[in-house]
Amino acid sequence: AAGVIQSPRHLIKEKRETATLKCYPIPRHDTVYWYQQGPGQDPQFLISFYEKMQSDKGSIPDRFSAQQFSDYHSELNMSSLELGDSALYFCASRGTEETQYFGPGTRLLVL
C-alpha cells in the first residue's frame, strides 16, 4: 500500500538559511499534519491542513510557514534557521478514518 512520502530525507543547512520540506500524503487523504521531534522528545504538533486550508496551528514558529496544494501535497517553509531547529520533521496524513499515518521524516541539521 502507498505510504506518506517526504522529501528530502536528510537536509543540512547553515544558520539563517531557508529550507523547504515536502510531504506527499497517502492517495485520497485530504488532511496533512506537520510535527517536529527533537532527540528524546515526543512529536510536537506544528500545523495541519484540510482540503488545502489551514485547519489547526500548534507550536509553529513565525519563521515557519506551510501550505497544502491542489494535489494535496504540502510544503513546510522554514526561514532564518536556528541551531534549535535541528530535529526530525514528520508529516502525517489522514483520510476519512481517525488514524494519522506518518511519513519517514526529514532529518534537518542546522550548523
Partner 1 sequence: GQNIDQPTEMTATEGAIVQINCTYQTSGFNGLFWYQQHAGEAPTFLSYNVLDGLEEKGRFSSFLSRSKGYSYLLLKELQMKDSASYLCAVTDNFNKFYFGSGTKLNVKP
Q: List residues binding partner 1 (CB under 8 A).
A: 31, 33, 41-43, 45, 48, 56, 58, 88, 90, 94, 98-105, 107
- Name the minimum Å distance from CB 58 to partner 1: 8
- Name the minimum Å distance from CB 69 to partner 1: 21
Give the nearer residue to partner 1 in terms of CB position, either 30 or 79.
30
3-class SS of residue 106: strand
Task: Bin 13: left if φ > 0, else alpha if -120 < ψ < 50, else beta.
Answer: beta
- Name the minimum Å distance from CB 28 to partner 1: 17
Exposed e or buried b per residue across 54-71, where buried means at least 16 C-beta atoms within 10 angstroms of its C-beta: eeeeeebeeebebebeee
